[in-house]
Structures are given as C-alpha cells and as structure tokens.
Amino acid sequence: MEKSILVTGGSGFIGSNFILQWIEQERSPVVNLDKLTYAGNPRNLISISSDPRYGFAQGDICDRERVRELLQRHQPRAVVHFAAESHVDRSIKGPDDFIRTNVHGTFCLLEEVRAYYAELTPPERNLFRILHISTDEVYGSLGPDDSPFCETTAYAPNSPYSATKAGADHLVRAYHHTYGLPTLTTNCSNNYGPFQFPEKLIPLVVLNARAGKPLPVYGDGMNVRDWLFVEDHCRAIRRVLARGKPGETYNIGGHNEQKNLTVVQTICALLEELAPERKPKGLRYFRDLVAFVADRPGHDARYATDATKIARQLNWRPKETFESGLRKTVQWYLENEAWWQHTLTGEYRLARIGQPASRGETSPA
C-alpha cells in the first residue's frame, strides 16, 4: 500500500470534501488530524468511516507532541493543512482563537514537519510535500474595475481572520526559503457546496428560507465574491499536490463573480423551483424574506481571483458554473435534512462516529 498523507482539519467543510474525494479518486491512505471544534463534524465522513484507508486522530495542531507522534507513526508522504478558524464575523468578535490556530498552530505544524523532513531519506525528501490551504482574502479588497488578485498581488488583509491567514502564508513561505521545506500554498476564493457549516451565507439562506426566517444581507448587498464549488477546489488541491512546484503559490478561483444580493436572490429562485411545497404558510415568495442589515465592520467590497497560473501550469479549470454548482448545493441541503438538523442542534458534537472514546483515534489498515 502507498504511503499515507496527513490532513489537518479534515472534519471541516473543505477538508472533509477533500478526504471524501481523495478516498474515491486516489490510492494513498489518509490520516485526519482534527481538533473537532464547532466546525469539525465527524458525520461529514461517516460514508468512509469503515474504509481501511481512512484513519482519524483527534488533536490540536498546537499540540506539537501529538503532531510529532502522528508523523513518526504514519510516516506520511505529504501533509495537507486545512486546519484553521475561518469565519470573519467570529474573528471580529474574538480574534484570539484565530491567532492561536492560524498563526501559532501553523508554526507548530511547520516546526514538527521540518524535524520530520530532516530525518527522511533523500528519495523520501524528493517526494515529500506540505500543502497549506489559504484564502484570497489575504489580498484585501478590490475596486469595481480593478484586475483580479494574482499570485504577486501585495497582501493587504482587512480582518483579523485574513490577517492571521496572511501570517500563516508568510511563515510557510519563510520555511521554504530558510529551511528548504518543500511547501506549496493555495489561495482560494469563496467556497460553497455540501457540508458547509450553516453560519456561512449560502447554507444560512437555504435553511432560513425553509424556516421562514429573515435572509440577512449585509449593507446594500452589492459586495462581490468569486464563488468556487468545493469539489472543484478539492480537484485543484489534488492537482497542486501532485504537480505543483515546491515554494510556489497557486490561486484557485471559480470564475464566478456575483453580488451577495444576487446569490441570495438566486437561491430563492431555486427554492421556488425545487421546493415550493416547503414554503412556510402565508409566505408568497422566498425572496420576500430578504432583510438588509447593518454592514460588517471593514467589509471588503470585492474579491476576484485570477486562476491563470494553475490553468496554464497544472491544467486545472473549474468544472462547475455558478448556476450548476449552486443548484447542486441547494439540492444537497434539501435532501440532507438529517445532517443539518444535527448540526444546528449541536448533536454532532456529542457523537464521535467511528472513534474510540478513550483516544479519539483510528488508523488506516
């Protein structure tokens, strides 16, 4: 059997989608290291919990002894680093956890990977990679006529979240240039798709609309984001891991710029088509639930990501349009009520599926 990969934060939204796709498409075993904060849901991976190629280890990336133990035991050929605090609103209310996980946690991981890498044989070093997953928010905000972010765009983060991710990006870059660690970094645009925590815009709108609750839109709703279907993002990560050049950064975007208000209105139209019978009594149109609220502090006006580099060098392009990806996403939430009900009630945090309670760990066979 091929050597495993170690994934941090693999029970979260993007990480779990990545692991599911990896198990379906690749041969290498996966070890998932996750702290299981509010955003980490073991139910995301229930379909592969008995697969001999999947193993789970509960732990914190800030726990260097735990990270060291897993590296030594599993001897992975790669580390894919998703673990992060990622919600802007939460970072504004309480940035401490973001600094601890996104900056200090990345530092701890890099230090342990550096020590592990030093002990590898020359052939093993040639194959080893550590891939850091980041965000386009590190680049700041664009004006309506500005060119999209590219890999050489100067960093200008505007929230505690994006500032901590920028700090992590700089550490990863420094560990390549200073210590020769074979790092890779990806900066992605806004993701959406199955298993996204309901605090994020698209699942929040779907579930609030079903419940007849207001659909909150910041400011005038004209803020623009580039939307990337999560399965396309995961394909891009796999491509970068397989073919990316150590030390390089690759932007990943969906080529789907949309105003926030347009996203909400499109979801409402899809719900009218796909689930008119689920409309709350007395409500004429789902769009009537739209409610404009006070704008977020420091709200970036526009994100747009230039993914030319990954297209030209690694031959990756998104498969989904915004329309096709959003339709799949809305349909998924309509068909998976048990998942989001468990998430909303917090029951998922009480059930650790496929994990021994004493140790919180299973290993690939």
Instruction: Report the alpha-carbon distance of residue 253 to residue 227 in Å, rounded.
Output: 7
The angle, 0 to 180 degrees and rounded to 10, between the axes of the packed helices 230-243 and 13-25 is 60
Q: Which residue among 54, 116, 139, 161 is the active-site one?
A: 161
Q: Sort strands 190-192 and 224-229 into parallel, antiparallel or unpaired.
A: parallel
Is 137 a residue of the active site?
A: yes
Q: Which residue among 60, 136, 226, 306 is the active-site one?
A: 136
Q: Which helix (H) or strand (E) holds 6?
A: strand 5-8
**What are the phi and psi torsion angles at 110 (to 5°)?**
-60, -40
Amino acid at position 250, single letter: Y
Instruction: Report the alpha-carbon distance of residue 203 to residue 197 in Å, rounded.
Output: 7
Q: Which helix (H) or strand (E) holds 110?
A: helix 106-118
> Which value, to the nearest 10 degrees, does the dihedral of the CA atoms of residues 315, 316, 320, 321 take?
-80
Is 169 a residue of the active site?
A: no
Instruction: Report the alpha-carbon distance of residue 261 to residue 265 in Å, rounded.
Output: 6
Residue 191, both tokens: 């993701």
Q: Which residue among 137, 169, 300, 306 is the active-site one?
A: 137
Instruction: Report the alpha-carbon distance of residue 355 to residue 360 in Å, rounded.
Output: 5
**What are the phi and psi torsion angles at 80 (to 5°)?**
-115, 115
Instruction: Report the alpha-carbon distance of residue 235 to residue 240 in Å, rounded.
Output: 9
Q: Sort strands 30-34 and 54-58 into parallel, antiparallel or unpaired.
A: parallel
Q: How far apart are the first and last CA of the chain?
A: 10
Is 60 a residue of the active site?
A: no
Catalytic sites, residue numbers = 136-137, 161
